[in-house]
Amino acid sequence: MNNKTAYHVAIVGATGAVGQKIMDVLAARKFPIQSLKLLSSERSAGTKVDFNNKQIVVEKATPDSFKDIDIAFFSAGGTVSEALVPEAIKRGAVVIDNTSAYRMNADVPLVVPEVNANDMKHHQGLISNPNCSTTQMVAALKPIDAAFGLKRVVVSTYQAVSGAGSEAVDELIQQTEAFLKDETIETNILPVKGDERHYPIAFNALPQIDIFEENGYTKEEMKMINETKKIMNRPDLQIAATCVRLPFFTSHAESIYIEIEKEGINVKELWDVLEKADGVMLQDDPETQTYPTPISAANKDHVFVGRVRQDLDCQKGFHLWVVSDNLLKGAALNTVQIAESLIKNKWL
Amino acid sequence: MNNKTAYHVAIVGATGAVGQKIMDVLAARKFPIQSLKLLSSERSAGTKVDFNNKQIVVEKATPDSFKDIDIAFFSAGGTVSEALVPEAIKRGAVVIDNTSAYRMNADVPLVVPEVNANDMKHHQGLISNPNCSTTQMVAALKPIDAAFGLKRVVVSTYQAVSGAGSEAVDELIQQTEAFLKDETIETNILPVKGDERHYPIAFNALPQIDIFEENGYTKEEMKMINETKKIMNRPDLQIAATCVRLPFFTSHAESIYIEIEKEGINVKELWDVLEKADGVMLQDDPETQTYPTPISAANKDHVFVGRVRQDLDCQKGFHLWVVSDNLLKGAALNTVQIAESLIKNKWL
């Protein structure tokens, strides 16, 4: 605990898409910054980046970069986090890590502030930011769990290419242009950069996000399953996921089937709970064709929920359509909100 | 029953996307045609259409168009079917109707030949072709039901714009071009032509296919639910659907969760059943990143199944990814296969 009113902040992976978004969010929310250090790999070091109308030169990240840093945001991939997060902690920084490197470690809180801020109370210098598709889902499901008890979840995702990085975004644009000109479509990145096979994403749907695990699920699907249980503190929750990459740029959408414990609940009662939930915005009116879409949710902070319907066979079953900007609540915004929550609760 | 070896065939809606596909399929499968009459609205009458290297002039469809016709394929929308199907039957034609007009009538068989050809045995001059998203799903689920007993189904769809007609296809192309040129995106057709609000489909996902019903489900979702129960002769089947339109041209994909009745079944046993199923092709090998996609399934006859996984909590639960060309098995091919089955079984 400290009594500072402004902080020495570092961003590792400052030149990446999420790193840039973290800077945007810090500026937009007037995060109390005393100094900002931008760090990257050797390759990007020397790049100049604008922040609040000042130019900052990006430096190569080394262990000693974290001397005198209060808060370090890591968003440069798992390998960098594995190498440098312990060094940052050793030098007294509190790390908020946007990679999957430490998420499932028992002593590392995995946090969506609206859901489980209290898990940070006894942090040991490191808090993990969840996977994008997980964050928006738990933001919508937590208030339902609190009110009615959540028994099971079956989710099918509709995920934007920006979740696979800027090369995937470029690939979608290039393939789309080539398709419209009737030219050959080159496939180099998706579904997984560095994996054996690549498929076109333009005008297609790829039922693979991240590599396959031994059980036939992808790593993305297992992240959704395991991270949801951890964040909601519900190791017993029945949950399954199918993750699909689609040809749009921003926001993940999710078709979610849930079963609750409480008897006799109707859609109106679910709406009431969602309407009052922190960070959630209900957009649900079939009569006026009101529901969220990836485009309508882009560049917005909320987790949007629509298409809430009771199952026609299972009285405790409900269907939801949940959409949120994967780079904001799914990444940069939640990361910064973790830091804000640490400050507000004097847990820094 | 008759002993003809070639038939007088009429196609109503010959100038539409499905009408054209029906002609392609008839030609490709060497359907035994004695004469082919192409019918349409007054607006398209006079158009010349190629079939087997001959030009056929499209005629305006009237009640008397069906004199001496053996088989009439209807694919010109519900209103046309409501007006002219009874006239065609009255004149002795057997009608295969591709619209939803008569699908749920108790005395009208709703048929996917691999699933329920026998329902046509006592037809009364009219057989309905199911909705595209339903056809491919029941083709994959029927062999599972037969082998292990199907208890429940939760499906989330990923549907191509061609299911909404050629104007929707044009809209996707125009919006995509406008987006890439940073021009204004015009929205006139999707999600539902003639409905109040329109949303961009390019680089987006729309959780509305067809209009909303009073219960909050869309008509497309209720079609999947009700038609599946009818085709599989399983009025007791628990089934829910969420239908989503996506920015690709051809093939619908479906993320399907099922629960079966039989205990102790594993993925290998599901594979065996699917591999032997008529009209189904298994494409499922995580190790080689093998699974179907909308692009890989386009212009092919099969219903492709991949990503078969056992649920991690429910031992009788399984997840599947089912993809098929919505204009072929989802429409034109199944329509022609119904006619072939009628001929083969001497039920014409």
Kindly tell me if the per-residue pLDDT of B11 is higher than 70.
yes
3-state SS string for A148-194: HCEEEEEEEEEECHHHHCHHHHHHHHHHHHHHHCCCCCCCCCCCCCC
Do A242 and B249 make contact, defined as CB atoms within 8 angstroms? no
CB contact (8 A) between residue B216 and residue A177: no
pLDDT reading at B1 higher than 60:
no
Q: How far is B204 from chain A (nearest CA, A)?
A: 6
Touching B: A residues 175-234, CB under 8 Å = 176-177, 180, 191, 195-197, 199-200, 203-208, 212, 215-217, 225
| Nearest-Cα residue of chain A relative to residue B251 | A204
pLDDT tens, B154-205?
Answer: 999 999 999 999 999 999 999 999 999 999 999 999 999 999 999 999 999 9
* Minimum Cα–Cα distance from B287: chain A residue: A212
Residue partners of A92: CB distance under 8 A and separation at least 6: A66, A68, A69, A70
- Three-class DSSP category at B247: coil
Q: What is the length of chain B?
A: 348
SS3 B154: strand
Q: What is the mean pLDDT of chain B?
A: 97
Contact list in B for residue A203 (CB cut-off 8 A) is 247-249, 294-295
Closest among A83, A103, A89, A80 to A16, alpha carbons compared: A80
Question: Is A253 in Cβ contact with B215 (below 8 Å)?
Answer: no
Of B132, B243, B314, B319, the active-site residue reads B132
In DSSP terms, which residues pair with A159 in a beta bridge?
A: A245
Across-strand partners of B12?
A: B39, B74
Return the DSSP state at B328. I
Does B249 contact A at CB distance below 8 Å?
yes
Residue A138 near residue A102, CB atoms below 8 Å: no
Span A206-248, pLDDT tens digits: 999 999 999 999 999 999 999 999 999 999 999 999 999 999 9
For B94, residues 6+ apart whose C-beta sits below 8 A from its C-beta are: B70, B71, B72, B123, B125, B126, B127, B342, B348
Report the number of secondary-structure helices (H) and strands (E) in chain A: 9, 14
* A–B interface: beta-carbon pairs under 8 A: 161
- Give the gap in angstroms from C-alpha B141 to the nearest C-alpha of chain A: 18
Here the ipTM equals 0.97
pLDDT per residue over A254-300, tens digit each? 999 999 999 999 999 999 999 999 999 999 999 999 999 999 999 99
**A 289-318: CB under 8 A from B:** 289, 291, 293-296, 306-314, 317
- Give the residues across from A282 on adjacent strands: A305
pLDDT above 90 (res A152): yes
DSSP state of B210: S
Does pLDDT of A175 surpass 60? yes
- Whether this model's pTM surpasses 0.90: yes
Contact B307 A191 (CB under 8 A): no
Q: Among B197, B205, B267, whose Cβ lies nearest the Cβ of A246?
A: B205
Report d(CA A110, CA B240) in Å as an integer: 33
Average pLDDT estimate for B71-83: 96
Question: Which residues in chain B are closer than 8 Å to A242, comparing Cβ atoms?
Answer: 156, 255, 307, 319, 321
Q: Could you tell me which chain A residue has the CA closest to the CA of B170?
A: A180
pLDDT of residue B3: 72
Residues of chain B positioned with their CB less than 8 A from the CB of A314: 238
The minimal CB distance from A240 to the residues B197, B257, B286 is found for B257
Burial label, B206 (beta-carbon count in 10 A; 0-12, 13-18, 19+): buried
Residues 6 or more apart from A347 whose CB is under 8 A from it? Answer: A1, A120, A121, A123, A341
- B266: which 2 tokens? 């594993």
Q: What percent of chain A has pLDDT over 70?
A: 99
Of A16 and B243, more confident: B243
> How is A282-320 classified by DSSP, letter by letter?
E--BGGGTB---HHHHTT--SEEEEEEEE-SS-TTEEEE
Instruction: Give A33-71 pLDDT, tens digit per residue.
Output: 999 999 999 999 999 999 999 999 999 999 999 999 999
pLDDT tens by residue, A291-335? 999 999 999 999 999 999 999 999 999 999 999 999 999 999 999
The arithmetic mean of pLDDT across residues B260-284, rounded, is: 98
Q: Do B208 and A158 touch (CB under 8 A)?
A: no
- Structure tokens given for B10: 């009429």
Inter-chain CB proximity B317 and A240 less than 8 Å = yes
Selected for mutation to probe chain A from B201, B203, B226, B245 (highest A CB count within 10 Å) is B203
B243 is catalytic: no
pLDDT-derived band at A4, boundaries 50, 70, 90: confident
B287 touches A: beta carbon within 8 Å: yes
- Choose among A177, A242, A289: nearest Cβ to B208: A289
pLDDT at position A2: 61
- pLDDT of res. B2: 61
Give the side-chain half-sphere CA count within 13 A for B15.
Answer: 17
Amino acid found at B332: A
Put simply, the answer to whether A314 touches B238 (Cβ < 8 Å) is yes
Task: pLDDT band for B26, please (50, 70, 90 cuts).
Answer: very high
| Per-window interface: A 260-279 vs B, CB < 8 A | 267
Contacts of B196 in chain A (CB under 8 A): 288-289
